[in-house]
């Protein structure tokens, strides 16, 4: 029986603290800091994420309600809302971005063999964005529309384990396709994109980098058919063609050939047209890969429902980015914990248990396995089929 270490402390033992110190040193995060360090700020914000705190006053009250346990949890001073607010507004948010990336690297190593529904040896990514609405009068820097503010969370999700590989927070008026310029394209990997990312000059970079993309074609696509390949219509494939773009600008931006696949979905009774630069995979596998893109929609839904990224503890750009990156760190930390402890529960169930037991002094594995929890992952039973979107 663990007599002296809280579950919160045991959870933090899975964090690479040396890497955190390097991130702080990289951006001089300890400059003129006397008491409330970047680590204390991270602990307070992590506690807020795990226990669903509503405000800085809420964080202050809950942490200071257990003064005898704060020191063992890593806090060296009393937490006040003014100090935490100042830290969120002034400490460089890139500290927490770089630390989240370190956790992502750890999670990728743990989940590199995780299945995702398609028998494929390649690494498969889904790239998309979600909009987080904000109040224009409180967040005037987050330009989006004339009477509305927002930020966008652009995410490249590794479908093996649903671990984000790349994230970027931008103002709401930044077009999704511009974020393709920030990706480090991995040769041999497959990138699944929706129609918002069709920019043939940028898509040609995937081909030049020896990577593959799968996307849906727009209805006004201009092309000429070069070859038609045999298809098995019983699987839903209606045509499998090798094409060349014929638009004046598009043919200059993408001079190579493309593969055009028309697939019929019997459930929705609709046809869908896919474009890809992969000429090796079966046409049905291409359709299945695009269907797996739905995982990134579930990822956005999950973090919005179970982490604090829709309401913020501060109104500055720095405070918003800091909170989002620490929320991402907590998501990845739960994924790491699930894998290292070989837990069968969903991340939602793990979060629910942690939220009511962080101050308990029992082994964390006992808290997560001692009873028969029956939480679901808060998913709607009548979930729409991907091809209904």
pLDDT in tens, 75-103: 877 889 999 999 999 999 999 999 999 99
70 to each of 5, 85, 141, how far by Cα in Å? 11, 19, 36
pTM beyond 0.85: yes
Query: What pLDDT was estimated at residue 117?
Result: 81
Please, are residues 88 and 314 in contact by the beta-carbon 8 Å criterion? yes
In sign, the C-alpha dihedral spanning 269, 270, 276, 279 is positive
Query: From CA 222, how far away is CA 27, in angstroms rounded?
Result: 49
Residue 342 predicted with pLDDT over 80: yes
Domains (range + CATH), the chain: 194-283 (3.30.1370)
Which residues, including other chains, have CB under 8 Å from residue 114's CB and lie 6 or more apart? 160, 161
Distance CA 281, CA 112 (A): 21
> DSSP states of 184-199 as a string?
-PPTT-EEE--GGG--
Question: Could you read off the pLDDT of 111-162 as tens digits, one per residue?
Answer: 988 888 888 888 999 999 999 999 999 999 999 998 899 999 999 999 998 9
What's 99-112 look like in SS3? HHHHHHHHHHHHCC
Q: pLDDT tens digits for 283-325?
A: 999 999 999 999 999 999 999 999 999 899 999 999 999 999 9
Residue 303's contacts (CB-CB under 8 Å, 6 or more residues apart) are: 309, 327, 328, 331
What does the alpha-carbon distance between residue 151 and residue 172 come to, in Å, rounded to a whole number?
4
Query: Rounded to whole angstroms, how far apart are CA atoms 319 and 86?
Result: 9
């Amino acid at each position: 029986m663990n007599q002296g270490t809280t579950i919160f402390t045991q959870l933090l033992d899975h964090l690479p603290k040396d890497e955190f110190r390097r991130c702080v040193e990289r951006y001089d995060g300890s400059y003129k800091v006397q008491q409330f360090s970047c680590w204390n700020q991270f602990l307070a914000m992590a506690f807020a994420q795990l226990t669903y705190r509503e405000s800085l006053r809420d964080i202050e009250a809950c942490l200071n309600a257990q003064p005898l346990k704060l020191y063992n949890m890593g806090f060296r001073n009393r937490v006040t809302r003014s100090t935490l607010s100042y830290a969120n507004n002034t400490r460089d948010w890139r500290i927490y971005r770089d630390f989240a990336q370190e956790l992502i690297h750890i999670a990728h190593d743990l989940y590199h063999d995780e299945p995702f529904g398609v028998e494929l040896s390649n690494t498969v990514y889904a790239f998309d964005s979600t909009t987080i609405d904000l109040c224009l009068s409180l967040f005037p820097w987050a330009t989006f529309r004339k009477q509305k503010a927002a930020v966008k969370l652009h995410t490249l999700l590794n479908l093996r384990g649903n671990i984000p590989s790349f994230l970027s927070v931008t103002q709401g008026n930044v077009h999704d396709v511009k974020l393709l310029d920030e990706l480090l394209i991995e040769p041999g990997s497959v990138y699944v994109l929706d129609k918002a990312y069709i920019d043939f000059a940028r898509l040609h970079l995937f081909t030049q980098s020896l990577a593959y993309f799968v996307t849906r074609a727009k209805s006004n696509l201009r092309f000429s058919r070069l070859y038609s390949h045999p298809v098995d219509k019983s699987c839903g494939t209606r045509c499998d063609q090798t094409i060349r773009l014929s638009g004046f600008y598009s043919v200059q931006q993408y001079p190579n050939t493309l593969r055009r696949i028309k697939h019929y979905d019997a459930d929705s009774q609709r046809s869908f047209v896919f474009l890809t630069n992969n000429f090796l995979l079966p046409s049905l596998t291409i359709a299945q890969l695009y269907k797996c893109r739905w995982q990134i929609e579930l990822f956005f839904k999950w973090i919005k429902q179970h982490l604090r990224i829709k309401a913020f503890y501060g109104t500055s750009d720095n405070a918003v980015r800091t909170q989002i990156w620490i929320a991402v760190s907590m998501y990845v930390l739960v994924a790491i914990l699930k894998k290292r402890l070989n837990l069968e529960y969903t991340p939602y169930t793990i979060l629910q248990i942690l939220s009511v037991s962080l101050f308990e002094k029992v082994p964390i594995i006992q808290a997560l396995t001692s009873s028969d929890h029956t939480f679901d992952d808060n998913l709607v039973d009548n979930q729409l089929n991907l091809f209904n979107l």
